[in-house]
Structure 1
């Protein structure tokens, strides 16, 4: 005798046949089973905003410094040092946050660091002199720098392998346009003319201070938004918390599909011995995590990636902090009716020479100018739109061609550095400078390599050490650029084109994409 199945029973039976239960699966198969939906899109947005908040804290300082140059009585060297100070914070905090991220969790790391970073960034708007402002920016960037490891790693470990590379490249769009976002915020703020005296601090609260305060708000906002998301299931599994990892996967599945968490096809996670960790002293664990990157089989990969990080960050992060200065000088010359027959380097040389006055034939004084041209802010917005659009196209097209995409970007940047020296049209020089800065697009591709080529237990440390190296290079680059531009603008860009070509040669020897996918 056969029992007839009702409609609901038939539906359940059909679903079982279409989607058999995977009672045991490894973490990658389990992530594939969660799909890609609302949870992943939401996490992508929050991680993107977290990186943008960090980028505003790091790169937005260049606009604040440009507008504060007279109030804080900054010389050219002090201006370069104050602009680059946030990069030191990244260096100081990178290894510590890598350890915290790998041992305490990606989500907790981000929530703590962004909250405290907000406090110091907000206080910097009340700094009475450039030394105190530098210390406060150093503290804020030390905390917000945790985004370099936490945001990318949390996002990459919470989505399937198929969508991972594309998601992380999309996440980089927000970082790429962080300076443009500051320009958008600065556009209505900096032209204001208010000045409120704060006697006990000995300062006059002017628009550039308000800009510094507004730039800090995204840090607090993203820390609050992270409360609505879960810890990385890969991290939980690596810490031996199998049940918690499975619960997180079920919740991601339910959010993405709209189905009950109990319908999640994976009922047990298979442990991977590579992910197993043990509790050790902090210093010993940090040392072991660091040295593991410089021993076979990871040594060759680490050296290649770290060299590329050095060159890319020196170029992308180094010159981007000089964008307001370079574009402001360019448009100042053009608006004064000059610049005919000049390339960008000649324009900069002319601006530097005209920024001093000679007294009695011997005393040279720099002319203080804290006016930021409207066209400078618009150009920063344009660059942000260009970089974000290019990164969006990159994320949609180069998922399986990361190595070739990196080669193309670096070579194109090197050629632009040569052309802005050669083409005697000021506006063309500005365009070539934008293309030269697009070298920063390689940062997103490098972050994908750091997720793919390192095990979970070392991924946070590898990412943080790479950023520590990159920001150290950027700090040296920013200060070197200031000195080199004053000495010989033309030689500066030619030297950078040679460095970029050396990076392109090394990028050719990265693991091929097909091997990575296998």
Structure 2
């Protein structure tokens, strides 16, 4: 059940991220967006994720994984629902930023939460299963897009309020986060976190509950009756004690905020102590590299597919490469706008291609689930980043829509292996007292990479398409080589 709930939360985050890139071709007409504005819209989500990941992630080490995970999922859901009602680009941009606050917080918390319930021999498989739900979310959002976005349901009220199919699509994509947040209210807190907080009785109760669910026996039959403290267990600061003694609500609230902030900063600094500094720095670079490449390219795939389908329908005998097509569409003033298309701005074949690319990682996900604990995290991370970096070079040279689709499928599939391995390493390289903070900080680097990737693609995709492709390839290959400096954590108990 823990793995399933973690997977559902992960799938809901994937839907919230990919839905934006899928709806861009449709929303560009209602919101009058240029390529640069589309790039900033994608990037704004990651700005929110960067802030939210650090805030929620560090608070997860202070107040608990479960509580912060619930808050972040609900923030994501509410902002997603409200964004469907925004009539102007600026309001839509703000709501997507707030949605990013929620997505950014739930991602590190999911991995910390799920990993702390797993025994060493099964942890890699369990985390790979949770990671595979990202593909499930991608497939679901692509399928929903194919069913909803082509609907002709544009309506405008007398007050000027418009509602079209892509807004309904946004509402549907926000529902999984809402459901996940509500369901998490019935889940237990991480027993390792409870031990770290000197709450042994509660931790024992959680373990007894798990024992009863797994075996069908009574909770009182659980063979362990006492738990010992974890190293680095909670030490109450004087500020929090003073706040707790105060009868003034404002003083107590300020003391709580000050204490949480102090602990967050202290835990962040601890990531750069000599014993784990190298792992932290290597993970920071790898997260930046893989996020720049994957999100920079992946979130533009629906837009690129849409441009390709429009181009090849007008030039059926052309053998132009992706960059030739994209630069032509970006620079040509003679081509009609997609908004003038009688069938709508979104090509159905482009949505089908997005669905196919979303399904492509299935074999890679199955391989990591079965062999993550056998072949090791480093094997999958290095292999994935080297192969995905090499595949990007190929995108520039292919000359047909089918070739572009096949290479895009390959890029998505091999990138998946890297993310699955990175999710395992990110949780296992750090002690329990720093785990949520470590995930938040390293994923903050990933958000910076994703922001840079989307902005770079937005500014250069219409003019110098080869430049962002080259940057992606170099970063991915460099990240794969730097992964060789990380230890392998397969079957190692969490500290």
TM-score norm. by structure 2 comes to 0.90
Structure 2 partner of 1:288? 266
Matched, 1:72 2:37: no
Distance 1:45 1:198, change over 3 A: farther
Structure 1: distance between partners of 2:194 and 2:157: 49
Q: 1:393: which partner in 2?
A: 367
Give 2:198's aligned residue.
240
Q: Does 1:474 align with 2:432?
A: no
Shift in Å at residue 83 of structure 1? 2.5
Residue 419 of structure 1 corresponds to 394
Cα separation, partners in 2 of 1:516 and 1:230, compared to 1, 3 Å: closer
Structure 1 position 499 matched with structure 2 position 461? no
Asked if residue 311 in structure 1 is aligned to residue 269 in structure 2, the reply is no
1:263-342 aligned at under 5 Å gives the runs 263-279=221-237, 281-338=259-316, 340-342=318-320
Partner of 2:65: 106
Instruction: Note the C-alpha offset of 1:341.
Output: 3.1
User: More displaced, 263-272 or 214-223?
Assistant: 263-272
Q: 2:434 aligns with which of 458, 463, 466?
A: 458
- Which residues of structure 1 form unaligned runs of 5+? 1-41, 359-364
1:359-382 alpha-carbon deviations (Å, 9 max, x no partner): xxxxxx966466212122111211
- Aligned CA distance change for structure 1 residues 175 and 72 (closer, same or farther; 3 Å): same
**Shift, 1:189, TM fit:** 1.1
Please give the per-residue CA displacement for 1:459-501, whole angstroms capped at 9, x wherever unaligned: 0011111222211210111010122222222333233222222
The one of 387, 405, 412 equivalent to 2:380 is 405
Please name the residue that 1:381 is paired with.
355
Secondary structure at the residue paired with 1:146?
A: helix
Classify 1:248/1:513 alpha carbon distance in 2 versus 1 (closer, same or farther; 3 Å): closer
Task: Please report how far the alpha carbon of residue 70 of structure 1 lies from its aligned counterpart in structure 2 after TM superposition.
Answer: 0.8
In the alignment, the residues of structure 2 paired with residue 367 and residue 197 of structure 1 have an alpha-carbon distance, to the nearest angstrom, of 20
Give how far 1:337 is off. Answer: 4.2
1:347 Cα shift? 3.0
Among residues 362, 371, 377, which one is paired with 2:345 in the alignment? 371
Gaps of 5+ in 2: 241-258
| Residue 339 of structure 1: how far off its partner (Å) | 5.7
Distance 1:319 1:275 in 2: 42
Q: 1:104-154: CA deviations, max 9, x gaps?
A: 111111222222322221111110101001111111221232211221111
1:488 aligns with 2:464: yes
Q: Structure 2: how far apart are the matches of 1:278 and 1:169?
A: 36
- Asked whether the 8 Å contact 1:65–1:82 carries over to 2, the reply is no
- Say if 1:499 and 1:178 are closer, same or farther in 2 by CA, change over 3 A: same
Q: Relative to 1, partners in 2 of residues 1:64 and 1:367: Cα closer, same or farther, differing over 3 Å?
A: closer
Q: How far did residue 445 of structure 1 move?
A: 1.3
2:248 alignment partner in structure 1: none
Cα RMSD for the two superposed structures: 2.1
How far off its partner does 1:308 sit? 0.3
The answer as to 2:402 corresponding to 1:444 is: no
Deviates more, 1:300-309 or 1:152-161: 152-161
Q: Does the CA contact (< 8 Å) of 2:84 and 2:167 recur in 1?
A: yes
Deviates more, 1:220-229 or 1:343-352: 343-352
Distance, in Å, in 1 between the alignment partners of 2:97 and 2:272 is 29
Does the aligned pair in 2 maintain the 1:312–1:440 contact within 8 Å? no
Q: 1:454 is paired with a residue of what secondary structure?
A: coil
**1:58 pairs with 2:17:** yes
Aligned partner of residue 274 in structure 1, secondary structure: coil
CA shift at 1:286, angstroms?
1.0
Alpha-carbon distance, 1:179 to partner: 3.2
> Residues 339, 215 of structure 1: CA spacing in aligned structure 2 closer, same or farther, 3 A cutoff?
farther
Q: Which residue of 2 aligns with 1:361?
A: none
Greater Rg, structure 1 or structure 2?
1
Match of 2:119 in 1: 160
Instruction: Give the TM-score taking structure 1 as reference length.
Output: 0.86
- Larger displacement relative to structure 2 (271-280 or 285-294): 271-280
Distance 2:285 2:328 in 1: 35
* SS of aligned partner of 1:249: helix
Specify the alignment match of 1:221 in structure 2. Answer: 179
Q: Distance in 1 between matches of 2:393 and 2:103?
A: 35
User: Taking structure 1 as reference, are residues 367 and 343 closer, same or farther at Cα in structure 2, changes over 3 Å only?
Assistant: closer
Aligned 8 A contact 1:45 1:171 in 2: yes
Q: Aligned to 2:225, what secondary structure does the other structure show? A: strand
Name the stretch that deviates more: 288-297 or 272-281. 272-281
- Aligned pair count reads 469
Q: Map 1:336-351 to 2 at 5 A.
A: 336-338=314-316, 340-351=318-329
- SS of 2:272's equivalent? coil
Provide, for residues 134-185 of structure 1, a one-character-per-residue CA deviation record: whole Å limited to 9, x for no partner. Answer: 1111112212322112211111111212111111111111223433321211
